Amino acid sequence: MAERIRILFLCTGNSCRSQMAEGFTNYLKGDTIEAYSAGVAPKGLDQRAVKAMAEVGVDISNHESKHLDELKNVQFDYVITVCDNAHESCPIFPGKTKIIHIGFDDPPRLAENAGSEEEAINHYRRVRDEIKKFILNIFEYIKTVQGVNS
């Protein structure tokens, strides 16, 4: 088996979007990608994210919110920032690491003004589905971005 590429999904809190991306990638593309997630200011795993992912058969309940520094010894092929704040504060990565940004809405922020739990979880579901679509097409997206940046 060929060596899998390593991708780090980086977000601010490593509580929701980056966790979903890691979960989907390992679930859908685990034969070709070794996925990780981290945050620049981790704040714990969001239980609504866990619930939304479980609804589509992906268990992230054992994930832990971690700081980027905890993965400093891993050589990544790609770092994908999934929120604007992480993109703006993304550190420099050594070697061949390529940094890509694809922003997704922040479900916890959107859910703050929800009138019900169902309305709140619907924000998570929408973003979850957008992340899944991205992961299903991740290789095409990477090729497109590399073509633009070459």
* pLDDT at residue 149, rounded to an integer: 46
83 noted as active-site residue = yes
pTM over 0.75? The answer is yes
* pLDDT at residue 93, rounded to an integer: 66
90 noted as active-site residue = yes
pLDDT per residue as tens digits for the range 87-133: 565 566 667 888 888 989 999 999 999 999 999 999 999 999 999 99
* pLDDT at residue 92, rounded to an integer: 61
Catalytic entry in 90, 100, 142, 145: 90
Q: Are 13 and 43 in contact (CB under 8 A)?
A: yes
Catalytic entry in 83, 102, 127, 138: 83
Place of tokens 């891993």: 74
First to last CA, the chain: 29
Catalytic entry in 11, 68, 86, 135: 11
Average pLDDT, the chain: 90
Q: What is the CATH number of domain 5-144?
A: 3.40.50.2300
